Amino acid sequence: MRSLTTISRCCCCRQLIPPRIGWTGLQRKIWDRIVTAWYPPTVNDIIADVFADDPDGGPDDPLADITTTIRAMNRKLAYKGLRVRIGSKQTGENGYRLIETSEEFTRRCADSWSRQRAKKLRKAA
């Protein structure tokens, strides 16, 4: 039995209902793009959708912004047993997808991030 929150889906369209996490605007846009896509979106698809409303066309290095934001999302999602992952060329998968993680992986991530945060707080003090 998993002790983590289960993934909720809409009963009509089967779309994932986002867990209650404090998303930033950019994280929410990326989440919506990954979850609502019919196919796993590539980083170029995400950049095009996320920065489409920006009159300047987005940041100078949108790839760095997207990857950094997804890394931050994964830290928040780890506590819910989820993770955003990109496919690999070895397996022939392409694009970002949402996957469930094992309890062991979630526990290791949470422990690691807790130690990193404690270390930063000790240095700041």
Work out the percent of the chain whose per-residue pLDDT is above 90: 1
46 close to 89: Cβ distance less than 8 angstroms: no
> Which tokens is 73 given?
């999302």
With contact defined as beta carbons under 8 Å apart, do 4 and 81 qualify?
yes
User: Does position 30 have pLDDT exceeding 70, yes or no?
Assistant: yes
Would you call 51 exposed, middle or buried from its count of C-beta atoms within 10 A (0-12, 13-18, 19+)? middle
State the average pLDDT for the chain. Answer: 76
Tokens for 79?
Answer: 């506590």
Residue whose tokens read 């991530």: 109
Domain 8-124 sits in CATH at: 1.10.10.10
pLDDT tens digits, one per residue of 3-26? 344 566 677 766 666 666 778 888
Bridge partners, residue 84, by sequence: 98
pLDDT the model gives residue 3: 39
pTM given for the model: 0.68
